[in-house]
Amino acid sequence: MLSKTDYDIVIVGGGPVGAGVTIALQASGFSVLLLESRIDNSNSDDQRTLALSFGSRLILERLGLWSQIGPATPIQSIHVSQRGGFGRTLLLAQELELPALGYVIRYSLLQQTVNRALKSLAANLMTGAQAVSMDSTSQAIEIGIQTQGSRQAISARLLVIADGGAGLGLQSGATTKVQEYGQDAVVGLVGTSQPHANRAFERFTPDGPIALLPFQNGYALVWTAAPETADALLALPASTFLDKLQLHFGDRAGRFSSIAARARFPLTLRYAADPVMPRAVMLGNAAQSLHPIAGQGFNLGLRDAWELSEVLLLHGKADPGSSACLSRYRAGRRPDRLRSIGLTHSLVKIFSNDVLPLRAARGTALSLLDLVPSGKRAFMQRMIFGALR
């Protein structure tokens, strides 16, 4: 007989992944508590953009969130090329009979939508609460919580570690693998002399990829560079920065006319070898943090959240933290997770160099992708919906 616990499920992290699980489980019959370390996580001044795949749109629709998010700029085509070498491919949504390959939104709008949904559902939410420890037994897991100078403990049958909870997973002894890329991402919002026509650009250079994603009337920029180069780029006057960008990217998007919201962050591959622990599971950026090449990180995390919710709902009112339940989740997510991590890492290694034989091989691969429609469609489906089991 399972001993009584405070909650069936405690979720750490009130970002879109943790909140997504909470919203999906509202009608499950489980008692759920969501912990958020910030008092207010609405991020109203957050200028970051987020690239959502069409598959992520479907998940957000199922959660009842998509129609409330606000302006989303569709990506209807992606032009992929390499600097200093031949070969290019053009990925088109119409080839999959989809309205878009993905969408670009402001992260803060998604977070605000999530917050409103949690309030309207009267979800059990504790803000200003940081989970600082976990101790599992065969029957339950105890979570230590720090709240504004005081500490308390609560128990649950399952602990879900989501947005921003990677440190808690490390405390548990989970094996984490880390690969430093020696690259930073310089991000910002750029204006151009010609309309984007809902086309994104992914251009590979020896220093790393540079991406332009259609956003509102301009583009969201992700420029990969060595840390010292990123430092220099942030320090440049706007006009000089735009000149450097023009030289680095070329003129496919027209002339760059403005830059706003410049920022940078280091790029690292970090992932838990096994995101499942006794009575606990890591999702989203607690389970893996990926290079932004191909835009897989957040979309993979949202698929984590959806599949965990599905497994818990199918499991019924049985113990959600049981080995049987978590083993089913692990087996279901393993193919998508490992292939997404492997694909992202491989793309960084293969395309972030100027080795002549590899440059030729890259050009050939890009050209062949355009010449083999079935292969291109399979690649696009993989990027949009994740790996099939």
Query: What is the pLDDT at residue 3?
Result: 53
Region 58-67 average pLDDT: 96
pLDDT at 167: 75
For the segment 133-139, the average pLDDT, to the nearest whole number, is: 92
- pTM (2 decimals)? 0.93
Mean pLDDT, the chain, rounded, equals 90
pLDDT for 214 equals 98
Mean pLDDT of 344-355: 78
pLDDT at 40 over 90: no
**Region at 189 (left for phi over 0; alpha for psi -120 to 50; beta for the rest):** beta
pLDDT of 2 reads 47
Asked whether residue 380 carries a pLDDT value surpassing 80, the answer given is: yes
Supply the pLDDT for residue 318.
87
SS (H, E, C) the chain: CCCCCCEEEEEECCCHHHHHHHHHCCCCCCCEEEEECCCCCCCCCCCCEEEEEHHHHHHHHHCCCHHHCCCCEEECEEEEEECCCCCEEEEEHHHHCCCCCEEEEEHHHHHHHHHHHHHHCCCEEEECEEEEEEEECCCCEEEEEEECCEEEEEEEEEEEECCCCHHHHHHCCCCEEEEEEEEEEEEEEEEECCCCCCEEEEEEECCEEEEEEEECCEEEEEEEECHHHHHHHHHCCHHHHHHHHHHHHCCCCCCEEEEEEEEEEEEEEEEECCCEECCEEECHHHHEECCCHHHCHHHHHHHHHHHHHHHHHHHCCCCCCCHHHHHHHHHHHHHHHHHHHHHHHHHHHHHCCCCHHHHHHHHHHHHHHHHCHHHHHHHHHHHHHCCCC
pLDDT, position 4:
65
The pLDDT of residue 342 is above 80: yes
The residue among 315 and 362 whose pLDDT is bigger is 315
Task: Give the DSSP H/E element, type plus range, for residue 312.
Answer: helix 297-315
Residues 280-339: pLDDT tens digits? Answer: 999 999 999 999 988 899 999 999 999 999 999 998 888 999 999 999 999 999 999 999
How many residues can be counted in the chain?
Answer: 389
The pLDDT of residue 259: 97
Determine which of 90-99, 144-153, 361-370 has the lowest per-residue pLDDT on average. 361-370
pLDDT at 240: 98
What pLDDT does residue 389 have?
A: 45
Domains of the chain with CATH codes: 7-177+269-385 (3.50.50.60), 181-268 (3.30.9.10)
CA distance 254 to 231: 26
Instruction: Work out the pLDDT band at 208, boundaries 50, 70, 90.
Output: confident
Crossing angle (nearest 10°) for helices 16-24 and 297-315: 20
pLDDT at 87: 76
Q: What is the pLDDT of residue 242?
A: 98
Tens digit of each residue's pLDDT (9 = 90 or more) over 228-253 = 999 999 999 999 999 999 999 999 99
